[in-house]
Structure 1
């Protein structure tokens, strides 16, 4: 660490900017960053399509879902898993900026301490809003249908983006803790297991008791069930845990908890730097 960087970390610039002015500038910066290096975005957006084609056609005939075709069950689950990927991308973006010294430079500027993480998480939501459209189009081509009303479908889309926003804050906080691009990439790959421990890909009805409990209290299960419910693809499972039995309320509750915990933690961690 250079002497200049050390001085900057110990003496960050006073906060004289406003979130209203600095936030949009940071959103633009992150969108430009994604445009210049779209590798992570392409990977996270194409992986669900690959999984839809693989699971839907290779394993689809072997996976039975009572009362519906498997691909109609799978597409909302993949949308939920895509929303949960904010944990991985948020962590990688923050760790990359820390590893390359960008965070230290930002902390020397007279700007709102919340602007940098807010810009990243809002940019995540904007790119996800566009990135989920190809998955939905491929799902429609594969036989999935939106059977609920347009208002309910928009509600499902809104829940997906809200959850992406919440998980992006959690990921950004982890990235600020890790501060290493390579380590964040390795840990981000491990987050792939989270949707597997949920109802995103398979129903929880036939799981062993303890595993069903873990899966149904996984926030991704509430989001997947809410998405299926609002798209009109399936009703919530009978006898399920509260977040899955009341999936819309469960998703809103999980999102509120994640935001209430990780927004202040992230802003505080960013302001502290490496202290």
Structure 2
């Protein structure tokens, strides 16, 4: 039954409010979208499989399969390889923000969000912030397992924490690449294929598993300028001591450059996608 506003004082009052709710700020909108991403994890906890089983599998496999052959001791190799696998594992899961955004585009939610009056980048920033939580979870699991296996950072907990913070910043910047590509490619399968095609060579052709000095000269030249190698060397330096200002500044510059290039590109395509 239709109720006329004149016959319903409460309804009439609601329809004639002089003040509309204030527009949400950039921070509030970003946290709202971050909460949305957390709710996805709550209702589909299988999403955390990649930050739990994946790091554990790689650490155990490479430590006990190759540790004795490469270093002669699984204990020594564990201290060397854990920072590298930590960087590799976190870097591999940076694609998931792009995958989630691509799903929103296919389902039409993307178009609905663009009609709402909030700070446009909030939908992306909120999701990226929650991904930083995923990266932190993966790091904690990896380090916890490492301690159970006998890993000990020579530079103490402080150096280990600084190494993780540097990795989180690099991963945040790397996520912008996949967020940008999610607006360009048509399907999430295509995006996953592109990300794997880029990440697998970068992570395996790096200093994650072995010292680059053992490689042929022609390969070493490429590996030494690989961004993953730069991050691994800096994190390893924080963990075991010996990190240099050059290593740290190089990683920060590379990370900042990724954000400067891909964040504006992402927002341009986000605002103009049809």
Q: How does the TM-score come out when normalised to structure 1?
A: 0.83
What is the match of residue 8 of structure 1?
none
Displacement, 1:189?
3.4
What is the match of residue 200 of structure 1?
208
Distance 1:248 1:19, change over 3 A: same
Displacement, 1:203?
1.4
Say if 2:99 and 2:182, in contact at 8 Å, map to a contact too: yes
What is the match of residue 222 of structure 2?
214
Displacement, 1:258?
0.9
What is the match of residue 241 of structure 1?
none
Q: Deviations over 1:59-115 (max 9, x none)?
A: 11111389x811111100011112322542222222222222221121121121111
**CA distance in structure 1 between the partners assigned to 2:227 and 2:52 by the alignment:** 20
**CA distance in structure 2 between the partners assigned to 1:132 and 1:25 by the alignment:** 25
What is the match of residue 85 of structure 1?
92
Instruction: Tell whether 2:106 aligns with 1:64.
Output: no
Instruction: Tell whether 2:236 aligns with 1:228.
Output: yes
What is the match of residue 119 of structure 1?
126
**Structure 1 unpaired stretches of 5+:** 1-15, 237-243
**CA distance in structure 2 between the partners assigned to 1:263 and 1:38 by the alignment:** 29
Distance 1:79 1:256, change over 3 A: same
Say if 1:23 and 1:116, in contact at 8 Å, map to a contact too: yes
* 1:32-47 matches, cutoff 5 A: 32-47=39-54
**CA distance in structure 1 between the partners assigned to 2:184 and 2:94 by the alignment:** 13
**CA distance in structure 2 between the partners assigned to 1:31 and 1:38 by the alignment:** 10
Match of 1:148 among 131, 136, 155: 155
**CA distance in structure 2 between the partners assigned to 1:61 and 1:32 by the alignment:** 43
- 3-state SS, counterpart of residue 205 of structure 1: helix
Displacement, 1:17?
5.0
Kindly tell me the number of residue pairs found equivalent between the two proteins: 250
**CA distance in structure 1 between the partners assigned to 2:240 and 2:150 by the alignment:** 14
**CA distance in structure 2 between the partners assigned to 1:36 and 1:193 by the alignment:** 34
What is the match of residue 251 of structure 2?
251
**CA distance in structure 1 between the partners assigned to 2:160 and 2:200 by the alignment:** 26
**CA distance in structure 2 between the partners assigned to 1:162 and 1:196 by the alignment:** 21
Runs of 4+ that moved beyond 6 A: none
Match of 1:53 among 54, 57, 60: 60
**CA distance in structure 1 between the partners assigned to 2:216 and 2:109 by the alignment:** 47
RMSD: 2.2
**CA distance in structure 2 between the partners assigned to 1:171 and 1:253 by the alignment:** 19
What is the match of residue 13 of structure 1?
none
What is the match of residue 260 of structure 1?
260
**CA distance in structure 2 between the partners assigned to 1:200 and 1:159 by the alignment:** 16
> Which structure dedicates a bigger proportion of its chain to helix?
2
What is the match of residue 6 of structure 2?
none
Displacement, 1:195?
0.6
**CA distance in structure 2 between the partners assigned to 1:192 and 1:145 by the alignment:** 28
Q: How does the TM-score come out when normalised to structure 2?
A: 0.83
Say if 1:160 and 1:223, in contact at 8 Å, map to a contact too: yes
**CA distance in structure 2 between the partners assigned to 1:209 and 1:246 by the alignment:** 22
